[in-house]
Structure 1
Amino acid sequence: MKIGLGLPIDDPAQLLAWAQRCDIGPFSTLGLLDRLVFDNPEPLIALAALAGATSRIRLQTEVLIAPVHNTAMLAKQTATLDRMSGGRFTFGIGIGGREDDCLAAGIDIRRRGRRLDEQMPLLRRTWRGEPYGDGVGPIGPSPATPGGPEVLFGGFAPAAIERVGRFGDGFLGAALPPQFMTGLFRDVETAWEKYDRPGRPRLVAQVNAALGPQHTIEQARRNIRGYYAFSGRADYMADGLLTTPETIRKAIDGFAGIGADEVMLYCWAPDIDQIDRLADTLF
């Protein structure tokens, strides 16, 4: 099973150093979260910079809030990133849940799911090199990955699971331990079969982790609380942070046991030495 790292968002200038150190190590993927009304780097721009600073590791949004983006521009940006990274881009995608993001983007939060359902056929059509729509020709460049970058849907609602079967290549499940994630994974497999998709969906789990001295752990918990402050579950999310080699290894083993293809360890603190600590713990 592959293991990737989610990048901290405290200081965008540090991300190049994180990416370069990870690129020479054992980790499979670098992930970057998305928000509009928040102090985080824009993920597609940031991952494009990291693509130029790396040669091996995959680059992933987890997850990009697609409804707040212009669809034609999003198709062009993601194809460009996939092309320039040599096909190393995974497009983790979802609808988000923050009203301020939708207000800033000028969209109705109540329609964000329907908007994503409208966006996906247009993205797929564009990546295939077909005309974008009536009176509009193809939008290039062509992605390096035939048919477009790998698409993973994130979320918990039945509609998110259904999108994997309809449009996706797999599922990215976050913030649940293995004993609860297994139900979502099985639902994804059922949706995959419902739409008669060949092969099997890729199943990816994300868990929050911080490994190091107490100030690293405390900073990670502060950052988690800040990110989830809108939800009313900030303390719950911070309390779920994995902070010891034993709990991290147990989670990895648990996700492997329910069929995960990859686990993303999201690092909420900027302490770059976490890369080596986690590598020493897991490899």
Structure 2
Amino acid sequence: MNIGLGLPIADPAGLLTWARRADAGPFRTLGLLDRLVYSNPEPLVTLAALAGATSRIRVQTEVLIAPVYDTAMLAKQTATLDRMSGGRFTLGIGVGGRDDDFLAVDRDLRSRGKRLDEQLVRLRRIWAGEPFGEDVGPIGPAPVTPGGPELLFGGFADAALERVARFGDGFLGALAPQYQDRMFRKVEHFWREHGRDGEPRLVAQVNTAIGPDSVIDEARSNILEYYAFTDRAEYMVDGMVTTPARLREVIAAHTALGADEVMLYCWSPDPDQVDRIADLV
């Protein structure tokens, strides 16, 4: 089982320490969430810095809200990051759901799914080296990864799950194991329905805080603030894994469901969590 770390957002400058420690440990991937109207660091800029500070570990958006980005610039940024990281970049992508993120770029939240589908077609063409349009040539650089960086989709609706088969390589599921099974099986169903070869990558995300009470309390506070716009903030806090025994249990449960990787998303900026989790996995 591959284990990744979802990075905290409360202390952007401290993420270099997280990255270096994780790169020296047993972890496969570093993930970073995306929001526009929030105090999180911009993920592509941040992951580029972290890729430069590491030599082995992958970097991943988890998930990038593509519809608020300009498509041509997003293609260039992601291809550049893929190239400069030596192919260690995974683009986790989704539609988002916050009105304010879309208002900030003067886009309609209600059309975000349609916009993402259009973006994905164009992204694949740009990464393949095709001209951007009739009067516009190709947009480089070419990514190291043939066809573009690994592409994972996050979401809960069937439209999001089917995009894995239509455009991507795998699925990011942020649900407890008892609900994750249904999502994984639906992704596999759409994969077969669209005649895709092989199997989709299945990645689970688990909110985690391992350490003293101060670390757990800080993580809870950060989750409550981040999810305050929803009616699920308390639910998200209740689902956070805070003990070694429970962490091993949840990892085992996702493994039994067929997950290829479990991303342990840390909400406290205490970097000592890297070493604590490494000792457990």
Return the alpha-carbon distance in structure 2 between the equivalents of residues 161 and 41 of structure 1: 27
Q: Cα RMSD over matched residues?
A: 0.6
Q: Tell me the number of residue pairs that the alignment of Structure 1 and Structure 2 aligns.
A: 281
Question: Which residue of structure 1 lines up, in the alignment, with residue 223 of structure 2?
Answer: 224
User: Which residue number in structure 2 is paired with residue 31 of structure 1?
Assistant: 31
1:172 deviates by: 0.3
What is residue 142 of structure 1 aligned with on the other side? 142
CA drift at 1:109: 0.4
Q: Which residue of 1 aligns with 2:172?
A: 172
User: 2:224 is matched by which residue type in structure 1?
Assistant: R
CA offset digits 1:105-163 (Å, max 9, x no partner)? 11100000110001001000011111112211100000010110000000000100110
Q: Is the 8 A contact 2:208 2:240 kept in 1?
A: yes
Q: How does 1:203-218 map to 2 (within 5 A)?
A: 203-218=202-217
> In structure 2, the residue corresponding to 1:278 is in which secondary structure?
helix
Shift of 1:239: 1.2
Aligned to 2:58: 58
Q: Amino acid of the residue matched to residue 238 of structure 1? A: V
Deviation of 1:270 after TM superposition, in Å, equals 0.5
Alpha-carbon shift at residue 80 of structure 1 (Å): 0.2
* CA distance, structure 2, for counterparts of residue 201 and residue 159 of structure 1: 16
Structure 1 residue runs of 5 or longer lacking an equivalent are: none
TM-score (normalised: structure 2): 0.99
DSSP 3-state at the match of 1:166: helix
**What is the identity, as a one-letter code, of the residue corresponding to 1:169?**
D
Tell me the residue number matched to 2:112. Answer: 112
Which residue number corresponds to residue 190 of structure 2? 191
Query: For residues 51-71 of structure 1, what are the alpha-carbon distances to aligned partners after superposition, in whole Å with 9 as ceiling and x for unaligned?
Result: 110000000000000000000
Aligned-pair CA distance for 1:11: 1.1
Which residue number corresponds to residue 14 of structure 2? Answer: 14
Equivalent position of 1:250 in the other structure: 249
Letter in 2 for 1:254: A
Q: In the alignment, residue 32 of structure 1 is paired with which amino acid? A: L
Cα separation, 2, equivalents of 1:205 and 1:135: 42
Amino acid at match of 1:205: A
Report the Cα offset of residue 242 of structure 1.
0.4
Within 1, Cα distance between the matches of 2:106 and 2:194? Answer: 33
Q: Residue 90 of structure 1 aligns with which residue?
A: 90
Post-superposition, which runs of at least 4 consecutive aligned residues in structure 1 deviate over 4 A?
Answer: none
- The residue aligned with 2:199 is 200
Q: State the distance in 1 between where 2:274 and 2:111 align.
A: 39
Q: Is the 8 A contact 2:58 2:89 kept in 1?
A: yes
Task: Indicate conservation of the 8 Å contact 2:60/2:90, yes or no.
Answer: yes
Write the letter of the residue equivalent to 2:23: D
Does structure 1 retain, via aligned residues, the 8 Å contact 2:176–2:239? no
Counterpart CA distance in 2 for 1:278 and 1:93 is 26
Question: Which residue identity lines up with residue 243 of structure 1 in the other structure?
Answer: T
Tell me which residue corresponds to 1:236: 235
Q: TM-score, normalised by structure 1?
A: 0.99
